[in-house]
Amino acid sequence: MKQSAGSEKRIKTAFILGAGLGTRLMPLTRDCPKPLLPLRGRPIITYAMDHLRQAGIERFIVNTHHCAEVYQQVFPGHAWRGIPILFRHEPDLLDTGGGLKNIESLIDDDEPLMVYNGDILTDIPLADLVDHHFRAGKEATLALRSHGQPRNVNLDAAGAICDFRQVLGNPGVQACLFTGVYIIEKTLLKRLKPGAKQDIIPVFIDMIREEPGAVAGVVIDAGQWNDIGTLEIYEALNNAEALSR
């Protein structure tokens, strides 16, 4: 990762994953992308946008696939609270890695990118993730939590990620939950195949296999984190009194 002398260590662009089918929340997602389901009166994705906006993000990129026209209806001005939104459609669903490769042309050279799952609700301090990314100097830095499920990211004694999903057989010293929030450098996108459906996790695994410690992680237990993965969780969050944003 290159950082010129005196350059500002900030993340200005966020990629919000919005193209999934939302099968776990059927039938609510039959005619609506999961990130656009209403949560306490407004779309789920706008909580992510507010979180990122408060962290200094100046541009959103959102990938679309299922019911893409609903995004146009919800954001007719292609902006949220003054932050521009650039949509990139996927006629064929490309998964996380493929979705990232599909926006490569939209990212400036040497520009770090915040990636954020569009179906989570969290207020973790993103400044901790940004600070760790620039200090670690790796192509990718993942926000982790020491509690919750599934805890399938392993850290070694030095705090580096040493395995995902037990693929490499390295249990390390601590198992963590991956929040779905991370930062990558544009150079990582060269590892992805254009037009191919691919998950980003096997790419991280290959990076660690080639060079132990190649993927950084930071445990952030402050704040709340919820994966809106079931109808029960969705209904509980809709009824929660603690939602303030």
Q: Using 50, 70 and 90 to split pLDDT, how confident is the model at 234?
A: very high
Do 126 and 14 touch, CB atoms closer than 8 A? no
pLDDT at 205: 98
Strand ranges in 146-214 using DSSP code E only, listed in sequence order: 153-155, 161-164, 174-184
Residue 131: left if φ>0, alpha if ψ -120 to 50, beta else—which one?
A: alpha
Q: Using 50, 70 and 90 to split pLDDT, how confident is the model at 183?
A: very high
Do 44 and 22 touch, CB atoms closer than 8 A? no
pLDDT at 241: 57
pTM to 2 decimals?
0.93
pLDDT at 244: 45
Q: How far apart (Å, rounded) are the C-alpha atoms in residues 24 and 127?
A: 31
pLDDT at 3: 45
Q: Using 50, 70 and 90 to split pLDDT, how confident is the model at 245?
A: very low
Do 70 and 95 touch, CB atoms closer than 8 A? no
Do 203 and 191 touch, CB atoms closer than 8 A? yes
Q: Using 50, 70 and 90 to split pLDDT, how confident is the model at 9?
A: confident
- Does residue 171 have a cis peptide bond before it, meaning omega lies within 30 degrees of 0? no
Residue 11, pLDDT > 90, answer yes
Q: How far apart (Å, rounded) are the C-alpha atoms in residues 118 and 20?
A: 9
The half-sphere exposure of 5 on its side-chain side, counting CA atoms within 13 A, is 0
pLDDT tens string 135-146? 999 999 999 999
Fold of 13-239: Spore Coat Polysaccharide Biosynthesis Protein SpsA; Chain A (3.90.550)
pLDDT tens string 85-111? 999 999 999 999 999 999 999 999 889
Average pLDDT rounded to a whole number, residues 146-169: 94
Q: How far apart (Å, rounded) are the C-alpha atoms in residues 153 and 144?
A: 8
| Domain coordinates in residue numbering, the chain | 13-239
pLDDT at 4: 38
Mean pLDDT, the chain, integer? 93
Q: Which of 59, 55, 65 is nearest to 107 (CA)?
A: 59
Average pLDDT rounded to a whole number, residues 222-240: 92
Do 11 and 56 touch, CB atoms closer than 8 A? yes
Q: Using 50, 70 and 90 to split pLDDT, how confident is the model at 8?
A: low
Residue 175, pLDDT > 50, answer yes
